[in-house]
Amino acid sequence: MMHTTMPAMSEVEFAWVDDDVEPASVYLGRAYQSMLAGHDGTEPRLLRISAGGQSAYLPILLKGLGNGCSEAYSAYGYGGLFGQLVLSEAHVEAMRTFLARESVVCMFIRHSPFLRNELRWPDALTELNRHTYAVALQPTKAFDDYLACLPQKVRWSVNFARRAGLGVRFTPLSELSSSSLQAFYALYAGLMLQKQTSDYYLFSERFFQEHARVLGKQCELAEIVDPVTGDLMAGALFLIEEAGWAHYHLSAARPEAMKQQGMELLLASAIYRYGNQGMRGLHLGGGHLLDETDGLSRFKAKFSTGRLAFFCTKLVCDEAAYGQERARLPLSKPNFFLVSDARG
């Protein structure tokens, strides 16, 4: 179902659509976008861009700013274009005009490193944010055969966890009990509170349960339980794509699991599992810093077979309205590009 169509500059056309198009990634699909829109209190929209007989699609979330204005951005995780069309500078300028007429003052796009879809935008409009890590997967007959290929320090960590009696079980959310997902959320939320992370990343138990309802078998929970008590010690959600990618999504671990090298065992087990399922790559995501000196970057780099560049795009669609919205209410974080983020 088409909402709004507008030709721009006669060479390119834009339309808000409900087309049932096949996305290039689970992150870009309707289910994931709707789930994040519910969490953010936004409206999921799909923009079709057509020119020269080719089309591209851009999934975004629209957030109202008040005063009749809104802003657009990629949902948490990754986003960007999919389809055949590569945007020229003229296409982007026409897009700015279209969005401004739709009262969208700015747009922030998080491109998908594993798709390299930043290459569908003019180079001048993409900015390197950080690096992410990926593992090229292949089947291996036995887990020990896979371990033999790892660096000695990583192999030692995984075997340390195994000697402590730890093991990993994987369950699609379509088959997982509600209580198991609830236990993982409690572990995750406790860790986020301890780290005093942004309220946004606390998410909610309902949001975790929505993963099961909306994504089902496209999402799996990996669990490590205490071999004595059976209590959850560590866990991670993985997103699964028919296109051949698995994605390390959300994770948490108790201190004792970290001491026993539980997360090393969990990631190694995931690499072994998805390789034997015929997946072609496991995307681990990035760390915290562009220079890769933080602990999360170092942890993921131990398992990766390659680094990917993660780019973002910031577009001001209506300079006057964007400036007015930034000035209309106090900004607690003025360095942030999106108006709602800057307002805090």
Per-residue pLDDT, 9: 47
Per-residue pLDDT, 288: 86
pLDDT tens digits for range 117-172 = 999 999 999 999 999 999 999 999 999 999 999 999 999 999 999 999 999 999 99
Q: What is the mean pLDDT of residues 251-257?
A: 96
What backbone phi and psi angles, to 5 degrees, belong to 195? -80, -5
Band (pLDDT 50/70/90 cuts) for residue 6 is low
Q: What is the mean pLDDT of residues 176-201?
A: 93
Per-residue pLDDT, 290: 85
pLDDT tens digits for range 318-340 = 999 999 999 999 999 999 999 99
Whether pLDDT at 5 is above 60: no
Exposure class string for 159-170: b at 16+ Cβ within 10 A, else e: bbbbeeebebeb
Per-residue pLDDT, 10: 54
Band (pLDDT 50/70/90 cuts) for residue 286 is very high
Per-residue pLDDT, 262: 97
Per-residue pLDDT, 22: 85
Helix ranges (DSSP H) in the chain? 30-40, 89-101, 143-147, 152-163, 178-195, 205-210, 255-259, 262-276, 295-301, 319-328, 339-343
Band (pLDDT 50/70/90 cuts) for residue 43 is very high
Whether pLDDT at 30 is above 60: yes
Q: What is the mean pLDDT of residues 302-324?
A: 97
Per-residue pLDDT, 276: 96
Residue 13 pairs with which residues in a beta bridge? 7, 50
* Cα 57 to Cα 84: distance, rounded to the nearest angstrom: 9
Q: Is 86 exposed, middle or buried (0-12, 13-18, 19+ CB in 10 A)?
A: middle
What is the percent of the chain with per-residue pLDDT over 70, rounded to a whole number?
97
pLDDT tens digits for range 193-252 = 998 888 898 899 999 999 999 999 999 999 999 999 999 999 999 999 987 999 999 999
Per-residue pLDDT, 60: 98
Per-residue pLDDT, 11: 87
pLDDT tens digits for range 49-61 = 999 999 999 999 9
Band (pLDDT 50/70/90 cuts) for residue 8 is very low
pLDDT tens digits for range 74-127 = 999 999 999 999 999 999 999 999 999 999 999 999 999 999 999 999 999 999
E strand or H helix that includes residue 285: strand 281-286
* Cα 35 to Cα 215: distance, rounded to the nearest angstrom: 9
* Cα 99 to Cα 317: distance, rounded to the nearest angstrom: 6
Q: What is the mean pLDDT of the chain?
A: 94
> What are the structure tokens assigned to 116, written together?
């390299």
Domains along the chain with CATH numbers:
2-130+310-343 (3.40.630), 138-279 (3.40.630.30)
Task: Please state the pTM of the whole predicted model.
Answer: 0.93
Q: What is the mean pLDDT of residues 280-304?
A: 91
Q: Is 151 exposed, middle or buried (0-12, 13-18, 19+ CB in 10 A)?
A: exposed
Band (pLDDT 50/70/90 cuts) for residue 15 is very high
